[in-house]
Structure 1
Amino acid sequence: MRVSNLVAGAALALLSPMVFAQAQTPEAAAERMQDFLSGFEDLGPGYAVVAVTADDVLLREVWGERRASTGAPLTADTPIYIASQTKAFMGLLAAQLDAEGVLSLDTTLADHWPGVRFPEGVNPSDWTLRDLISHQVPVSADLIVILEAYVTRIDPADYPRLIEAVMTAREPGFDYDNLGYNLYGAILETVTGRTWQDWLEERVFDPLDLEHTSARTSDFALDAQSWNHIWTGSETGWFEVRPKTDAQMQSAGGITTSPNDMIAWLQMNLRGEGPAGSGLTEAIVSEAHTIAAEVSREARNAYELPCYGYTLGWNVCDFEGHTLYAHGGGYTGARTMMAFSPDLGVGIGVFSNSDNMTGWLTSRTMIQFLQFVIDHEDADRWSARRQELYPQRIERSLSGRLERVANGRDNPVYGDWSWAPETSELSVYEGVYSSEAMYAPVTVSVVAGQLQAAWGDYRFTGAPAQTDVFGLQQHPLDEVLPLQFERDEAGEIVALSYEKARFERR
């Protein structure tokens, strides 16, 4: 299924092949973009592209299905998970709450967590909330990031303990990470008694009339949302990844939005202010767009552009001499991208509900549109080349992922994979296993004859390898990791080990 909506009159600019070749207006660029997108044989399960000016919709293309197994169509109002693009929404919220005196961006970590021991060499009095959400505080805490993104919601009251237990110092300077936004969200709830989700809904989603946008997946029926997908090959097809739970929706990557709502969001950013009465004033939007951290132009990034700054949630890049604000989003089975250029007066949002080399495709879709807008001399050549490269990249990606899975299975810990236990044998592993250091418990169950393990809401299937050892995967192309059970002298299961962490059976 494909839905197309182009601005009225755009076709008038394309009455001849000569005019097509010399497209320079945003409307004509959108026509060329439609032709580019039509040149891909398969963008499944679902793909959507919107392009706008501050006042007009240039392009609204929506293909395919929101869930492959049901055939339910992807529409312009389907909520799609946009992962790290959440940071730009959070940055706008932070600028507004700062302007209103709710939570100052110039307060420090020491102001909010006095007495908390940060890593040696990191003085919490030196680092502000603005530094947090521009990726400048020189700390790392992988466990916190993993917990928030995949496992469970961390109670803000537990942050001081986790900071002291798992945080380490890193080299100074800009370093993109989810951690700063996670810390900001915890501080916001501690100060105000309200979650970042509630604040976003009240101060950003509702004022912009984003009806199909939320920081909670429970706000939408499960079947109304876009599911994520992983291509496993022509024989086995698409593996479906269920939408995140509310507990996995975190302040660095926890929003679902629709193509239509992305239109409104991009237009607001191009206008530089929200609607009258929204509270999103020109000064607040300008603050959210102001560079807070300098970035090396030589650093690699998802946009393959020289990017030189980071604002409160946007990468600031150079596209052929034009300023471009951009941010991507990636998660298991989905890739998305959004960007706008005040210089060129256009914005674009790209959605894919698979990770079938779509990280590359979404960024190239964005760049292709911008090349059409400026009438780049190589735009048509690159259009044809990208159409040619995409299926080749899909094939190479699948081959590489299958090879990595096979290599993972060669780990000696698995033996020869000859163990074939009955369901009754698997039941001895069922139970709840906990580790104070790992925050959330692991629950082991047997479903339809298969061992299932869930660390909080992060779910895996365990394939039996040898007695007491399973190979865990979240999906068929996931890296195989060992889950090992431990017995006492009486032969009873007392603990499990996963990723160097030990969980004791309750």
Structure 2
Amino acid sequence: MQYIFALFVVSISFLSQANSQKWDGFTESYIKHLKKSLNKKAIPGAALSIVKPNSPSIALGIGVTKLKNGQPITENTRFRLASISKTFAGSLAAKLAAQGAFSLNDPVDKYLQGVHFSNFDESLKIYHLLSHSSGLVPNAYDNLIESRMKYPDIVNKLTDIEPLCTPGRCYGYQNVMFSLIGDIAEQSTGLSYNNWLKKFLFKPLKMTNASVGYHAMLVDEDYAHPHVRGRKRWYTAKLKKNYYKVEPAAGVNASASDMVQWLKAQLGNYPNVLNDKVLSLQVTNYTKTNKELKRRIWRKNLKEAHYGLGWRIYDYAGETLYYHSGWVQGYRADIVVLPRLNIGFSLMLNAETGLINELTTDFIDRVLVEYKDKDIV
């Protein structure tokens, strides 16, 4: 019996070692492809994060922070997450709801002192903000984010807009409306949104480089500068403050090492921070997003698309994945979580390029070819 048990243990050990070697080869191949693609397009810099159970996490900096006199990007170099910030807001809102700070079905007006949406009465709920189903025209007053107008003044202009449909009936992507979750968190708990992220997400997850806001991005020189494309080459641009006005929608900064921790949390590795109830709540299919089915590069594989709480939920070639992208001037970013396979992926670029769509899709497709019908060990 002892002999049989020993053979069993040895077999498991060899299987685990073989799977580990296979994964190492898989990631090495992808990283080689990634670097070649970035070099071909002369992308200044990137930050890659990949996690998988029972394997060393990957946090990799590539290229330089800026084209002239830049420094090498490391796993600790800060990037703008842009709209990937919404995943933090969604997780925090789900956490606060699970703790009883508010109900996602509460009327928005209950928590917004001095702000009243006259065309909604009590039909506009908290979950409508987070799932982009308020009924307003897409990107309502987002143009004012790029003006000198302050965030509270932009919110006040939203209150009298006539909705296109009743809340919950149609999808319209928002930044200003979405960011009201920050005001709701503060009104319901007495703690600012920024402090909630720092104390209850960043700190316990050991996201040591993560921060919120323009000034936090510039605390030292270890940040990726934005780059825009001219006629023949990339140019370093000035970091803009505008979308930092809407912190829950677009205000988070993070490094590759930070994103490793965020991916692990999304895969359930830190239940004391984000437990199963919270993780399940944030990816509830609140809003159909049929427009996503027409995405050129994903069109052949995307079967269903929904929005949860700060997360997109896709049926991609029969596999459920959670996703979000980010895009502000000079930056692009993607995050992907494959829950069944326990694999997480994040890529951030300090250049405003559609190449990121191809690089993220390539990673997903490679994973599904290798592991779709197999168990991850």
- Give me the TM-score of the superposition, normalised by structure 1: 0.62
- Separation in structure 2 between the aligned mates of residue 337 and residue 69 of structure 1, nearest angstrom: 26
Computing the radius of gyration over CA atoms, which structure comes out larger, 1 or 2? Answer: 1
Structure 1 residues 331-342: aligned runs within 5 Å:
331-342=328-339
- Separation in structure 2 between the aligned mates of residue 47 and residue 239 of structure 1, nearest angstrom: 14
Shift, 1:176, TM fit? 1.9
Shift, 1:312, TM fit? 0.8
Aligned counterpart, 2:164: 170
One-letter identity of the residue aligned with 1:67: K
State whether residues 26 and 58 of structure 1, in contact with CA within 8 Å, keep that contact through their aligned partners in structure 2. no
1:228 to 222, 226, 229: 226
Aligned counterpart, 2:8: none
- Separation in structure 2 between the aligned mates of residue 294 and residue 113 of structure 1, nearest angstrom: 27
Aligned counterpart, 1:250: 247
State whether residues 176 and 246 of structure 2, in contact with CA within 8 Å, keep that contact through their aligned partners in structure 1. no
Shift, 1:59, TM fit? 3.8
Shift, 1:24, TM fit? 11
One-letter identity of the residue aligned with 1:56: S
Change (3 A) 1:159 1:141: farther
1:290 to 280, 284, 288: 284
C-alpha offsets along residues 280-314 of structure 1, whole Å, 9 cap, x if unaligned?
22212221222222333764348723442111111
- By percentage of residues, which structure has more strand? 1
SS in structure 1 opposite 2:132? coil
Shift, 1:62, TM fit? 2.3
Change (3 A) 1:114 1:206: closer
Structure 1 residues 300-311: aligned runs within 5 Å:
300-301=294-295, 304=298, 305-311=302-308
C-alpha offsets along residues 314-360 of structure 1, whole Å, 9 cap, x if unaligned?
111122211111100000111110101012221111111011xx23x
Is 1:362 aligned to residue 361 of structure 2?
Answer: no
Is 1:259 aligned to residue 253 of structure 2?
Answer: no
C-alpha offsets along residues 20-68 of structure 1, whole Å, 9 cap, x if unaligned?
xxx9954332122123124333442102222211453454442111122
State whether residues 149 and 250 of structure 1, in contact with CA within 8 Å, keep that contact through their aligned partners in structure 2. no
State whether residues 61 and 77 of structure 2, in contact with CA within 8 Å, keep that contact through their aligned partners in structure 1. no
State whether residues 226 and 238 of structure 2, in contact with CA within 8 Å, keep that contact through their aligned partners in structure 1. yes
SS in structure 1 opposite 2:369? coil
One-letter identity of the residue aligned with 1:274: Y
Q: Which has the higher contact order (CA 8 A, sep 6+)?
A: 2
Change (3 A) 1:142 1:374: closer
Aligned counterpart, 1:281: 275
Aligned counterpart, 2:375: none
Structure 1 residues 147-166: aligned runs within 5 Å:
147-148=144-145, 151=148, 153-155=150-152, 161-164=156-159
SS in structure 1 opposite 2:257? helix
Aligned counterpart, 2:87: 88
Aligned counterpart, 1:453: none
Change (3 A) 1:184 1:146: farther
Shift, 1:107, TM fit? 0.7
- Separation in structure 2 between the aligned mates of residue 108 and residue 303 of structure 1, nearest angstrom: 38
SS in structure 2 opposite 1:39? helix
- Give me the TM-score of the superposition, normalised by structure 2: 0.81
- Separation in structure 1 between the aligned mates of residue 296 and residue 192 of structure 2, nearest angstrom: 30
Of 252-261 and 308-317, deviating more is: 308-317
- Separation in structure 2 between the aligned mates of residue 126 and residue 223 of structure 1, nearest angstrom: 47
Aligned counterpart, 2:202: 205
Is 1:196 aligned to residue 190 of structure 2?
Answer: no
Change (3 A) 1:294 1:30: same
One-letter identity of the residue aligned with 2:126: L
One-letter identity of the residue aligned with 1:221: V
Is 1:56 aligned to residue 51 of structure 2?
Answer: no
- Separation in structure 1 between the aligned mates of residue 219 and residue 63 of structure 2, nearest angstrom: 19
Shift, 1:152, TM fit? 5.6
Change (3 A) 1:299 1:375: closer
Task: Report the identity percentage.
Answer: 25
State whether residues 91 and 282 of structure 2, in contact with CA within 8 Å, keep that contact through their aligned partners in structure 1. yes
Change (3 A) 1:245 1:56: farther
State whether residues 322 and 344 of structure 1, in contact with CA within 8 Å, keep that contact through their aligned partners in structure 2. no
SS in structure 1 opposite 2:177? helix
Change (3 A) 1:26 1:126: farther
